[in-house]
A and B are shown apart, each in its own frame.
Chain A
Amino acid sequence: MSDPDATLRTALREAQSKMGGDQVPSFDSTWAAAERRVGAARKRRGVFATVLVAAAVAALAVGLLPVNDNALPYIDEDDLLGTTRWTAPSDSLLPKRQFDVYQDVPVLIESTETYGGALL
């Protein structure tokens, strides 16, 4: 680099130091702050990961729980029908009930009146 460059370099550095470039914060404090930020971020990620894992485990546990066969046994249709009985309200009119309204056909009274030569 030529001498004018060296002059420019010196002048620029002086100008910049006046702008605060020489007031460098200590490396240790900056580094410690950075480490704290990394630690905090790691902690946040840890909490998030723990919650995520817990949710995943819970979902898996619910999904993979064995189905209790005793709780929901298979029921054969015939067996099921054998266990039930339904009685209609009109069953009381059936012969087994000793009251059959249909046993005798009612006889209507014959008419004696005629009309045009025929009984009404």
Chain B
Amino acid sequence: MRDGDVLDKNPHVSRSALEAIHGQVFGWALSRCDYNPTVAEDLMQQAYVELLSGKARFDRQSSLKTFVFAVVQNLARSRYRRMASQLRLVQAVAANTFDETVQPEEPQENDSLWRAVQELPQRQRDIIELVFCRDMTIAEAATVMRVSTGTGRVHYDRAKKTLKTKLTENGARFDV
């Protein structure tokens, strides 16, 4: 950590350390918002704002990467809670106004493995992504997901079993 780039409100966080994990955090933010890059970048900015303003304070109880992932996760949850409540309001007010329901964009790339992962329950999908795509241990992933390590391990095992079943049914080559 260079002395000059330590954040004022977060003495254990440096700009250079955040820059080093920027790509991974973006990938995680992307998966939190249905792979919408604009929203993901906004989530990243919000996460950095939280760190710069000291609202999210890193106290070295985990790795910086785990901490920042957890911040992004919380921001994404808050965002979707707001969106859900706004959507409910709109639906309640104008139930008969809209003829077409807006559907989220489906990923264009739908290979069997990706589809199988996307069909997993949320928690299983999250832990698979954190462990396999973000190089986290199950314990670190569980910290990001705010569950115990034991619960994280259960989600991980179930996810792998489900993946194996689905991929076998589809005749895919992955032996998970």
Contact = CB atoms under 8 A, between A and B. Distances in A.
Interface of A: 4-5, 7-9, 11-13, 15-16, 18-21, 23-25, 27, 30-31, 33-35, 37-38, 41
B121 interface: no
Considering residues B45, B49, B52, B107, which has the most beta carbons from chain A within 10 angstroms of its beta carbon? Answer: B45
B11 interface: no
Contacts of B107: 19
The main secondary structure of chain A at its interface with chain B is helix
A18 B107 CA distance: 10
Interface in B13-37: 15, 18-19, 22-23, 26-27, 30-31, 35, 37
A67 to B, nearest CB: 46
Interface of B: 15, 18-19, 22-23, 26-27, 30-31, 35, 37, 41, 44-46, 48-49, 52-53, 107, 109, 111, 113-114, 117, 128-129, 132-133, 163, 174-176
B111 A7 contact: no
Contacts of B128: 12
A20 B26 CA distance: 10
A27 to B, nearest CB: 4
A30 B44 contact: yes
B176 A4 contact: yes
Given A16-B133, A20-B30, A34 B49 contact: yes
B174 A4 contact: yes
A66 to B, nearest CB: 43
A103 to B, nearest CB: 93
B45 A30 contact: yes
A8 B176 contact: yes
A27 B17 CA distance: 11
A34 B45 contact: yes
Nearest to B164: A4
B68 to A, nearest CB: 12
A24 B53 contact: no
A9 to B, nearest CB: 5
22 contacts: A4-B175, A4-B176, A12-B114, A12-B128, A12-B129, A19-B30, A19-B109, A19-B114, A20-B30, A21-B31, A21-B35, A21-B133, A24-B26, A30-B41, A31-B15, A31-B19, A31-B48, A34-B48, A34-B52, A35-B48, A37-B45, A38-B49
Contacts of A41: 49, 53
